[in-house]
Amino acid sequence: MILNISAVLLFGAASVFAVKAKSAGGGAAIVLFLFGFFAAGTGAYEPIHNVVQACADALGNLGN
């Protein structure tokens, strides 16, 4: 079974959790940074999207 989740939904949920948990670490900052770029669709969207897509592909291929 394959489950597809939107990156905006995933990073949005993670940012809500980070804010609720009052996380002040570097991981929370990266999640909020990525969510901002995915939500805004700025000119930096394409390179960041490519990096995230490559990471997702790499994680997906770990089990193969």
- The whole model's pTM is what? 0.54
Q: What does 1-64 look like in DSSP terms, one character per residue?
A: ------HHHHHHHHHHHHHHTT--SHHHHHHHHHHHHHHHT-TTHHHHHHHHHHHHHHHHHTT-
Please give the pLDDT value at position 2. 61
pLDDT in tens, the chain (64 residues): 466 677 777 777 887 887 778 776 777 777 777 877 777 777 777 888 888 899 989 988 887 7
pLDDT at 3: 64
pLDDT at 27: 77
Burial (0-12, 13-18, 19+ Cβ within 10 Å), 35: buried
The span from the CA of 58 to the CA of 41, in Å, is 24
